[in-house]
Structure 1
Amino acid sequence: MESRSRIMDKVILQYQEDENVMIQLFARWCANHQLDALTLYAQAYPQQEKNLLLEKAVEEMDEDTLTIDTETLLNVLQLFGNEDLAFVVSVEADKHEKC
């Protein structure tokens, strides 16, 4: 039987990996809509320091043709408790739809 600390380490690692996927989805959605991911993040969380994982995701983004659906992104953000960022994304999505 695995020790409790090993199980906790696995849970934490899985959460971090899932969080990284969420960040990449957000960065890709922003790129799909010609929006600056770092600016939108700062609008949602003005008191937070820079998000280094988001900066890395933006820097390493390739010219992928993957399109992220807004509803999917909103669901993922809310799943991780990022309601403020989900709100900013929904406002920007509404602006984009009206154009």
Structure 2
Amino acid sequence: MSTACTGWSHENRSNGYGYLLDNSHLYTGPYAECSYVSVVKTGVKVYYHCYITNAHGNKWIYARAEGTNTEGWMSSTHLTRESGTLARC
């Protein structure tokens, strides 16, 4: 499995969402060492597109922050009050 920050495919196949537990980031790839696209603040609602399990066995979700067109990868450990479905990428 790739550990690169680019080249991960994703599509909007989910109708789920969650809220940020703490300040976090939307990243360019599904690893914390990847550069980030945007800061996302505590309590922001993010809409799920799909998820993958990275090479370290961690679940990362491709999501969009509510009220923006900003999308990126986010670790599932930062989310709470989840609802709806979340499909695999």
Shorter-chain TM-score bucket reads: under 0.3
Structure with more strand by fraction: 2
Looking at secondary structure, tell me which structure has more helix per residue.
1
Per the normalisation by structure 2, the TM-score is 0.25
Instruction: Please report the TM-score for the alignment, with normalisation by the length of structure 1.
Output: 0.24
Q: Which has the higher contact order (CA 8 A, sep 6+)?
A: 2
